[in-house]
Amino acid sequence: MDALASAFEEVGVEHFSSNEPDHWCAEGALMLLADVSAAFKGDQSSDGYIAASGVFALVFCDHFIRLATANKENAAIFALKALGFGNEEIRERVPIMDFYETLQDSSPNLLNEIGQGCAQWVLAPNSESLRPLRSLFIALADGLE
């Protein structure tokens, strides 16, 4: 938990509140996503960028909630809301969630690589540990164009 709190501080997330671990994990996922996706030079309104952002946010949330023993569903909902999805969209099943589940079946190695990159970043939250995540983000976003 201390490593996660230290890593979150590196991207500007306030200290952990035991009352809101779900929100804390979602905020950490989105702040890390902002750092990772900053390397993308394409159109940030493109379907590829939006889908890659959703996938990375969900993988990051999944990793962080395991470390913070937060509620997976709540953390994912907070992250999706912060990405701009409304309550109604989330209730009706955001397409990014379907895409994420498709990747779990069709490309589990990609999701594992993102998760491993996230774990490495938690252990050493610096620009060097962000490099593989940035490369994966760009490849996924470009590949979905």
Domain boundaries, the chain: 2-10+18-143
Q: Is 102 exposed, middle or buried (0-12, 13-18, 19+ CB in 10 A)?
A: exposed
List the helix and strand counts (H, then E) for the chain: 8, 0
pLDDT of 17: 60
Q: Please list, residue by residue across 104-140, b when 16 or more beta carbons sit within 10 angstroms of its beta carbon and e when fewer do.
A: eeeeeebbebbeebbeebbeebeeebbebbbebbbeb
**How far, in Å, CA of 53 to CA of 37, rounded?**
7
Per-residue pLDDT of the chain (145 residues; tens, 9 = 90+): 688 888 888 888 876 665 678 888 888 888 999 999 999 999 998 989 988 998 999 899 888 888 887 677 777 787 787 777 777 766 666 677 788 888 889 988 999 999 999 999 999 999 999 999 999 999 999 988 7
pLDDT of 90: 67
What's the pTM value of the predicted model, to 2 decimals? 0.86
Q: Distances in Å between the alpha carbon of 105 and those of 67, 98, 100, 112, 116? A: 24, 11, 9, 12, 18
